[in-house]
Structure 1
Amino acid sequence: MAATYSGEARPSPEPSDGVSPASPASSTGEIPMDQPPKLKGRHRLLQNLQRMSSTPALTRRARSATTGSTDYPRGGKASLSCVSLASPSYTPCFGNGNASPLYGGLNARPATPGTPGSPPEHTPTARIRMLDAGRSLTPQPRSVGLPIDMRPSSRGTPSREGKLGEGFPQPDSLPVSIPDSHKARPTESKVGEDVVSPPTPEKTFDFWGNMPAELKMNILGYLTPKEIIRCSAVSKAWNQMCYDGQLWSHVDTTDYYRDIPSDSLLKIITSGGPFVRDLNLRGCIQLRDKWMMEGEKISDSCRNVINFSLEGTRIDKSSVHFFLLRNPRLEYINLTGLSSVTNSAMKIIAQSCPYLGILNVSWCSNVDTKGLKKIVQSCHRLRDLRASEIRGFDDGDFALKLFERNTLERLIMGRTDLTDQSLKYLIQGENPHIDLLTDRPVVPPRRFRHLDLHQCTEVTDEGLKTLAHNVPDLEGLRLSQCSELTDDSIIDVIRTTPKLSHFEVEDVERVTNNLLIELAKCPCAAHLEHLNISYCESLGDVGMLQVMKSCPNIRSVEMDNTRVSDLTLMEASSRARKRGYGEKLPQVGLRLVVFDCANITWAGVKEVLSSNCYTPRPRKSSATMVTVTQTTSDSGVSGMSTPTIPSTPVSPTSSPPPLPEVYPNHIVQLKCFYGWQMTVDHHTKRVLRGDLAAASRLDRKWADYMMATEEAGAAGAGARRRRRRAREAERLYNVDSEEEDEYAIGGISSFGGRRRRAQSGGCVVM
């Protein structure tokens, strides 16, 4: 069946049963308001065909039977029916019901009435088939808009209908078919105008935001607590990150306990919570109200504390007890100076802290040895007990408990009421077995490494002698201000302690130079590092010179208010030079405290300063020496041969290679008379930073000033007597020296000597 369509209503070529499918209403293109009754079968089909043919929006469709094979080429793409494009149901999608939208921008050419069967025109570039070859004189729409849901849109640009159809060549017929390739990629333009692709936004790389949390915590861990608190004000995320518990496993307020408010400190402690291992609140008196109001909150948050210090804080009794009960893993407890700590707290520690190793209850006025006895019995790992100024050390029962336990390595009992009997119980026990050959008690040796008995005024030689042969591992012994001790008991102890490295007998008036001479002969002389003999007015150069010569590793000597003189300072400087020279900057190797010593003069201080900035002279190298040999010719006339150069040739114009800077390895740091101390400090700073030339200039200028000052007030027989004493001291020192200097310096006197005379101009003082 072939039929043509135009703007006018045409009768169907196949009427049936005398019913005409055309009607006057359909010829005008309008739909009547009253719908006819529904038809069935063939009548319904004919009526639908008549309606479609009368639509004015469609162009005429003509088809010739002879050109049917060319209108529908085989192998072509599927086409979209023009009936479906012109249907009123698609009007909302295209937005214009009277227009003929086409995909690809093809122009529709309406058929001319009266020319049915005309073949369609084909365009070489068109990829659709033409259904009508007629041309219309009226302009038709050039593009077909896509449905709204299929329209592409660019970011930031409004969508336009028919954008994809612009720029294509226009065909001669209206009906088109949409290729599948265009349906799959609606944003691509095949022919004509190029569609500008939307700009791709640049990806911003957030270095800190994309970093793992573990690395952030590791980086923030290098900051100080003050810097971490400042970083917490950046943002909410940084605030949450800076108060993470991983950063506060070690809370030590030693450096900022005066500056941090109580609220911030409480936030740090509570945010750390179970991460806190070390909690040092030394001096944090601002937490007094927080402990009273929120003590339970702090204790509930921190349940894994290992090292705990409350020295110098203000805390109530109940808060201390509650915190100790909530932390059974405590190994180090420092409660120094707390009046709220009593024997009840000691009982709680004994019951709930089995891992306790270090306990410091010094100056706790409400604690005595009754509370400490419970800790000694229960805490088997206790190795360090510091109980200065604690009452009850005269109790022999407590001393016996310590003897039975024998786990302490450090015991500090300074300023206590310790007696000779208690000290015997502590070292030998009660009724020990006595060896008949040696007349010594047979007991296991004590494990003490550090023993502090300073200002125990009731301890005498009888009690101290019990330490002999019973403390072989002792490294530190402090006997300061024990006025009843003498050389006999102390010498017996130091002879049997080969590991002794720190020894203090400050303000023990009965000791003499014999103690220092025996100390220099004891096995511990090779390990001695610190010696304190201040306010021992009987000690002088006789003993100290032996100590300086026999103790090569000594690092600190405090001998203020003694009888030592410039000879001790010279010997100390000589020993410091023997420690060698190198290319590294010097370090403090020996610290001397000699203020209030009447026999120390400015000449001895000058000797120390000159020794600190002295460097050995470079020796000539054998590679630069020129050897001249004498030769004899055949005629018997001797002559000079060509100089022989052993290794490297010497050019007359070339300069020798620069020698590396040489510095002393160790220097002497001096604390002397306050009028000279400022000059000594400036000189030491210049030496430590490697400016030896500036230090030498300061040394010479200060010596000139001191000589001018001394000579201005010296006259008559007094000056001759001072010069005579100086010569005698120099002679005694040169005779006493047993060996020459390692760097060929020779004997050095306190007033210049052979080397210093050449450096300072050969001037004589006094």
Structure 2
Amino acid sequence: MATPAAADRATGDIAPALSSLPSPSPSPEISPASPISSTGQIPLEQPPKLKGRRKLLQNLQRMSSSPTLTRRGRSVSTTGYRHDNKASLSCVSLSSSPYSPCLPNGSSSQLYGGLKPRPATPGCSGSAGMGAADGLNPRIRLVGTDSPASGQPRSVPMPFDLRPTSREAPWTESTTVDGETFTSAVLPESQPAKLLDFWGDMPRELKMEIFRYLAPREIVRCSAVSKLWNEMCYDGQLWSKVDTTEYYQKIPSDVLVKLITSGGPFVRDLNLRGCVQLREKWSSDGERLSDLCRNVVNFSLEGCRIDKTSIHYFLLRNPRLACINVSGLSSVTNSAMRIIAQSCPQLETLNVSWCNNVNTKGLRRVIQACERLTDLRASEIQGFDDEEFAVELFERNTLHRLIMSRTDLSDQFLKALIQGANPTIDVLTDSPIVSPRRLRHLDLHHCSDLTDDGLKSLAHNVPDLEGLQVSQCSELTDASIMDVIRTTPKLSHIELEDLENLTNSTLLELAKSPCCQTLEHLNVSYCENLGDTGMLQIMKNCPRIRSVEMDNTRVSDLTLMEASFRIRRRGYGEDIPQVGMRLVVFDCANVTWAGVKEVLSSNAYIPRARKPVSSPTIVTVTQTASESGSVSPMTTTTTFVTPSSTPTFSPSPSPEPTSTYPAEIIQLKCFYGWQMTVDEHTKRVLRGELSSARRLDRKWADYMMATEEAGAAGAGARRRRRRAREAERLYNADEEEGDDAYGFGGISALTGRRRAQSGGCIVM
């Protein structure tokens, strides 16, 4: 860049030259903002002359010796460069002028074309003496407006010795010694590479997000890496949920207290189920823990040995509690229920089952104060013969789940709960006119005082009921249960265990009731009067049933066969099978091993239409014989084509080519002597090893048949016992994957005898 002194000299030199130029006539069509023509020349018509300082500075611009200055943060008014990164007029070279060029290399006339006059005749070149004599205006060309066709550069090149080189190329340095010039390469100084600290440069928020993917046990282990990791691992953001269900037996009390205190106000879910190791910590740190954790929403202390004072501290300092589980704690009393009623208005779930020091008097305060309560679990709580408490529940009518099992529940209490006190009776139907209850799950099992008179009050009053448990209520009969089944179209889970007076009429009514389409679970164990008559209809008419417990009933193999048929109708697919139905037939005298085998065979069954079609197998048998007295033997070749359905002999077993599996299978619980085989068969099917499961099924069937023959009396008992021992050895032998149960070609590995197979010999 030229210095200010040089600019002043250039201004002094250029001013006389500019004054000697003929002044063009003013033209109204040209303005100072008019663009330059495409040929790069300034129009001949010029705007009116400027006066004074503006005239001098009109076309005067600062020059730059390096184009890199255009990249500096200078304004347009000071640098003289436009926004299109093109240079403006750097200097003016007058024709035949004695002034030195603007650039030291003397290339201004080459770059800018000079101010030579335009020839009068086309084809005549301009000369230095033709300037003002012919009356022609000189050409003034800007650096940034040179046309590409002119072949002239648009910018001023930087001197070669000052041009920057690439990072890889060395710098060159010239040295003159005794008139001789030597050029040497100068390598740039190597700078150390910047090391990337991936974990150190990561924001703390991302680090905490990564730690959230770890299990609590893994986080505690990571805390021993360093002090920084220890600080992050015990950050309260990671411990908003403290659930010790999986590791409560392995975590010491000190670490557990540290986790709770680290979480502090971040803790929302605090589940200390079974943490008996905190028994000594509650007396010393109970108040401090409750003071730190003031935002708990879900609080569970089931099976935790905690004192009464610590429980009260937690209840008083956490007004946002929505779920409280203190089941089985003797330290919970009616005073705790009073604190809940006063300080926990957002309570939705309360579990006080097996709390011996709580009764319905304390629960009544909770019912009156907590309007959002929807789930009340109060098993083995005394006072359920109080009708006033039942009226409170009736008037509130917000409960969706009510568990009153193993209590002194009476018929009058259940009537007051469902119908209220003194309801209006309909003259036509002789039934009370009350609003329907919102109950969805009702548990009344093991209430010995409950009879049909109280259970009938549920009919027509609980249309949203989905789960009903009345097991071990020995006074119930078909009449009351059938009335409830007819009027509960959403019933999906029903427990009728150990009802001695129950008959097949209930199952038949259940099979044709509206709830048969939604039924998923049925428990009729120890109902000794139930058999195939009712259970077959259940299997046929309940398409969504997934669990049936019929232990110690009169069902037989027919029920198992019908269940297998219904499961097969649920289809096949390419995915690994899943358990679709669970059957419990333990201690059913009419269920034999044949019925169990039917279930096993159905689990591994693939229809022939879905089996892959393989190409025919070509078997070539070559026989070589040598005649007596001849030199060359005779060779005979015979070729057989076997169909795809015929099993072929191969020296090594090949994997099963099918990728089709049953969509669902049956998980069976049966006689303990057969249960190990059934479990192993189920595991293989769930892994997709259908061929292995079928081999196990065949071996177990042969073993059971041989065992039955060995137990039969009469002639040949010794031979039958010997075959039974051989079958047992075959059954207990360790089989490898892909081995046939009877060896290659149907020959037993133990006896050496060929077993009959359909299709006979593959060659003959």
Normalising by structure 1, what TM-score? 0.64
Once the two structures are superposed, residues 313-344 of structure 1 have per-residue CA deviations (whole angstroms, 9 ceiling, x without a partner) of 00000000001111000100000100000000
Query: What does 1:690-729 align with in structure 2 at a 5 Å threshold?
Result: 690-715=688-713
Once the two structures are superposed, residues 543-575 of structure 1 have per-residue CA deviations (whole angstroms, 9 ceiling, x without a partner) of 111111111100001111111111111011011
Residue aligning to 1:367: 358
Residues in 2 aligned to 1:318 and 1:710: alpha-carbon distance in whole angstroms:
67
Name the SS for the 1:391 alignment partner.
coil
Residue aligning to 2:94: none
Residues in 2 aligned to 1:239 and 1:459: alpha-carbon distance in whole angstroms:
58
> Aligned-pair distance for 1:193?
9.0
> Aligned-pair distance for 1:760?
10
Residues in 1 aligned to 2:544 and 2:305: alpha-carbon distance in whole angstroms:
43
Residue aligning to 2:391: 400
Name the SS for the 1:354 alignment partner.
coil
> Aligned-pair distance for 1:716?
6.3
Residues in 2 aligned to 1:385 and 1:432: alpha-carbon distance in whole angstroms:
25
Q: State the one-letter code of the partner of 2:244.
A: T
Residues in 2 aligned to 1:620 and 1:500: alpha-carbon distance in whole angstroms:
39
Question: Aligned pair in 2 of structure 1 residues 483, 206: CA closer, same or farther (>3 Å)?
Answer: same
Residue aligning to 2:215: 224
Q: State the one-letter code of the partner of 1:696.
A: R
Aligned residue among 683, 686, 693 for 1:685: 683
Residues in 2 aligned to 1:680 and 1:547: alpha-carbon distance in whole angstroms:
24
Residues in 1 aligned to 2:447 and 2:457: alpha-carbon distance in whole angstroms:
16
Residues in 1 aligned to 2:712 and 2:398: alpha-carbon distance in whole angstroms:
64
Query: What does 1:358-757 align with in structure 2 at a 5 Å threshold?
Result: 358-618=349-609, 661-715=659-713
Q: Confirm or deny: 8 A CA contact 2:302 2:325 kept in the other structure.
A: yes
Q: Confirm or deny: 8 A CA contact 2:321 2:347 kept in the other structure.
A: yes
Q: State the one-letter code of the partner of 1:326.
A: R
Q: Confirm or deny: 8 A CA contact 2:378 2:404 kept in the other structure.
A: yes
Moved over 3 A (4+): 167-171, 190-199, 619-622, 758-761
> Aligned-pair distance for 1:689?
0.9
> Aligned-pair distance for 1:759?
9.6
Question: Aligned pair in 2 of structure 1 residues 682, 659: CA closer, same or farther (>3 Å)?
Answer: closer
Residue aligning to 2:117: none
Residue aligning to 2:284: 293
> Aligned-pair distance for 1:619?
6.8
Number of residue pairs matched? 510
> Aligned-pair distance for 1:230?
0.5
Q: Please report the RMSD computed on the Cα atoms of aligned residues, expressed in angstroms.
A: 2.8
Residues in 2 aligned to 1:366 and 1:195: alpha-carbon distance in whole angstroms:
93
Residues in 2 aligned to 1:691 and 1:296: alpha-carbon distance in whole angstroms:
58
Residues in 2 aligned to 1:619 and 1:323: alpha-carbon distance in whole angstroms:
62
Question: Aligned pair in 2 of structure 1 residues 659, 712: CA closer, same or farther (>3 Å)?
Answer: closer
> Aligned-pair distance for 1:618?
2.4
Residues in 2 aligned to 1:314 and 1:294: alpha-carbon distance in whole angstroms:
14
Q: Confirm or deny: 8 A CA contact 2:611 2:658 kept in the other structure.
A: no
Q: State the one-letter code of the partner of 1:412.
A: I
Name the SS for the 2:608 alignment partner.
coil
Residues in 2 aligned to 1:351 and 1:197: alpha-carbon distance in whole angstroms:
79
Q: Confirm or deny: 8 A CA contact 2:599 2:666 kept in the other structure.
A: yes
> Aligned-pair distance for 1:248?
0.8
Residues in 2 aligned to 1:229 and 1:620: alpha-carbon distance in whole angstroms:
52
Q: Confirm or deny: 8 A CA contact 2:669 2:675 kept in the other structure.
A: yes
Residues in 1 aligned to 2:182 and 2:587: alpha-carbon distance in whole angstroms:
106
> Aligned-pair distance for 1:437?
0.8
Name the SS for the 1:591 alignment partner.
strand
Question: Aligned pair in 2 of structure 1 residues 336, 759: CA closer, same or farther (>3 Å)?
Answer: farther
Query: What does 1:53-92 align with in structure 2 at a 5 Å threshold?
Result: none
Residues in 1 aligned to 2:599 and 2:348: alpha-carbon distance in whole angstroms:
45
Once the two structures are superposed, residues 271-329 of structure 1 have per-residue CA deviations (whole angstroms, 9 ceiling, x without a partner) of 11111111110000111111111111111111111111000000000000001111000
Name the SS for the 1:389 alignment partner.
coil
Query: What does 1:130-149 align with in structure 2 at a 5 Å threshold?
Result: none
Q: Confirm or deny: 8 A CA contact 1:700 1:760 kept in the other structure.
A: no
> Aligned-pair distance for 1:191?
9.7
Residues in 2 aligned to 1:263 and 1:197: alpha-carbon distance in whole angstroms:
60
Residues in 1 aligned to 2:757 and 2:550: alpha-carbon distance in whole angstroms:
30
Residue aligning to 1:312: 303
Report whether the alignment pairs 1:262 with 2:262: no
Once the two structures are superposed, residues 486-505 of structure 1 have per-residue CA deviations (whole angstroms, 9 ceiling, x without a partner) of 00001001110000000001
Once the two structures are superposed, residues 172-221 of structure 1 have per-residue CA deviations (whole angstroms, 9 ceiling, x without a partner) of xxxxxxxxxxxxxxxxxx99998876542221111111112221111111
Residues in 1 aligned to 2:360 and 2:467: alpha-carbon distance in whole angstroms:
24
Residues in 1 aligned to 2:661 and 2:713: alpha-carbon distance in whole angstroms:
41
Residues in 2 aligned to 1:468 and 1:195: alpha-carbon distance in whole angstroms:
101
Q: State the one-letter code of the partner of 2:545.
A: I
Name the SS for the 2:668 alignment partner.
strand
> Aligned-pair distance for 1:169?
8.6
Residues in 1 aligned to 2:612 and 2:478: alpha-carbon distance in whole angstroms:
54
Q: State the one-letter code of the partner of 2:210.
A: I
Q: Confirm or deny: 8 A CA contact 2:611 2:660 kept in the other structure.
A: no
> Aligned-pair distance for 1:621?
11
Query: What does 1:10-409 align with in structure 2 at a 5 Å threshold?
Result: 199-409=190-400
Q: State the one-letter code of the partner of 1:601.
A: T
Normalising by structure 2, what TM-score? 0.64
> Aligned-pair distance for 1:168?
8.7
Residues in 2 aligned to 1:700 and 1:610: alpha-carbon distance in whole angstroms:
9
Residues in 1 aligned to 2:561 and 2:685: alpha-carbon distance in whole angstroms:
18
Name the SS for the 2:609 alignment partner.
coil
Question: Aligned pair in 2 of structure 1 residues 760, 333: CA closer, same or farther (>3 Å)?
Answer: farther
Once the two structures are superposed, residues 733-752 of structure 1 have per-residue CA deviations (whole angstroms, 9 ceiling, x without a partner) of xxxxxxxxxxxxxxxxxxxx
Gaps of 5+ in 2: 1-173, 616-640, 646-655, 718-755, 760-764
Name the SS for the 1:618 alignment partner.
helix
Residues in 2 aligned to 1:353 and 1:621: alpha-carbon distance in whole angstroms:
64
Name the SS for the 1:579 alignment partner.
coil
Residues in 1 aligned to 2:435 and 2:674: alpha-carbon distance in whole angstroms:
52
Question: Aligned pair in 2 of structure 1 residues 216, 567: CA closer, same or farther (>3 Å)?
Answer: same
Name the SS for the 1:535 alignment partner.
coil
Question: Aligned pair in 2 of structure 1 residues 716, 425: CA closer, same or farther (>3 Å)?
Answer: farther
Residues in 2 aligned to 1:343 and 1:448: alpha-carbon distance in whole angstroms:
25
Q: Confirm or deny: 8 A CA contact 1:343 1:367 kept in the other structure.
A: yes
> Aligned-pair distance for 1:669?
0.3
Question: Aligned pair in 2 of structure 1 residues 389, 538: CA closer, same or farther (>3 Å)?
Answer: same
Q: State the one-letter code of the partner of 2:321.
A: L
Question: Aligned pair in 2 of structure 1 residues 621, 571: CA closer, same or farther (>3 Å)?
Answer: closer
Greater CA radius of gyration, 1 or 2? 1
Residues in 2 aligned to 1:200 and 1:597: alpha-carbon distance in whole angstroms:
85
Q: State the one-letter code of the partner of 2:683.
A: K
Question: Aligned pair in 2 of structure 1 residues 591, 619: CA closer, same or farther (>3 Å)?
Answer: closer
Residues in 1 aligned to 2:607 and 2:200: alpha-carbon distance in whole angstroms:
59
> Aligned-pair distance for 1:711?
1.3
Residues in 1 aligned to 2:199 and 2:558: alpha-carbon distance in whole angstroms:
64
Name the SS for the 2:231 alignment partner.
helix
Q: State the one-letter code of the partner of 1:311.
A: E
Residues in 2 aligned to 1:464 and 1:660: alpha-carbon distance in whole angstroms:
54
